[in-house]
Amino acid sequence: MSDDSRSDDPRFQSAIVAIDEANRHDPRKEMVDGIEQPRELLFAQRVYEWVEKLVDDPSEVLLLAARGHTIRRWMIPRDTYPKTTIGYHEWRTALADFHADQTAKILADCGYTDDVIGKVRAFITRSNWPADPEAQALEDADCLVFLQTKLAGYIDEWGEEQTVRILRSTIKKMTPAARGIAMKLDLDRSARDLVERAAS
């Protein structure tokens, strides 16, 4: 994790620690350098790092949203909603509200004002996307981490044609700059081929 310019703000640091602690309880694990680590903790940290790369001077609310926007995601599994397009969108809406509520509680406990909490909530629920450039940066970061870390694991489950359709939707949400970065990611051959097909 890179050094953070807001390291002297006790509220900010307390919030980041609390969000990470919540995500540390994810029962789903990912191997990193031979060590099992909580999947959602890694995902949130990676999105945060991408935001820092994509935005020259990210706001505090954007960084808080980046760290909390998928907090405790494992608590609302996909299979709790119908395996339909409508069910998928209902699930995503429920997740966004859940993540926003969970993050808001942590921020309130850390002493943040209702105004700041409301702005973080807007990022997490995407109510200010795509009009707000920082909201778009969060979307770009989320998509890049998905491509880097999750895509390969879904290819067998989805099949090639469904994967290409999903990737087209993903790429469409990204800025041209983020799409350019996506095309240079270090992906395995099968994932790379599908991303190129979706982008063509």
pLDDT for residue 2: 43
CB 81 within 8 A of CB 88: yes
pLDDT for residue 7: 58
pLDDT for residue 127: 97
CA atoms within 13 A on the CB side of 95: 21
Q: Is the pTM of this model over 0.85?
A: yes
pLDDT for residue 4: 53
Sign of CA dihedral 39, 36, 178, 118: positive
26 burial (CB, 10 Å; 0-12 / 13-18 / 19+) is buried
Q: Which two tokens stand for residue 139?
A: 């979307």
pLDDT for residue 153: 85
Owner of token pair 């993540």:
99
pLDDT in tens, the chain (200 residues): 444 546 578 999 999 999 999 999 999 999 999 999 999 999 999 999 999 999 999 999 999 999 999 999 999 999 999 999 999 999 999 999 999 999 999 999 999 999 999 999 999 999 999 999 999 999 999 999 999 999 988 888 888 899 999 999 999 999 999 999 999 999 999 999 999 999 98
Q: Compute φ and ψ for 32, nearest 5 degrees.
A: -130, 115
Amino acid identity of residue 30, one-letter, is E
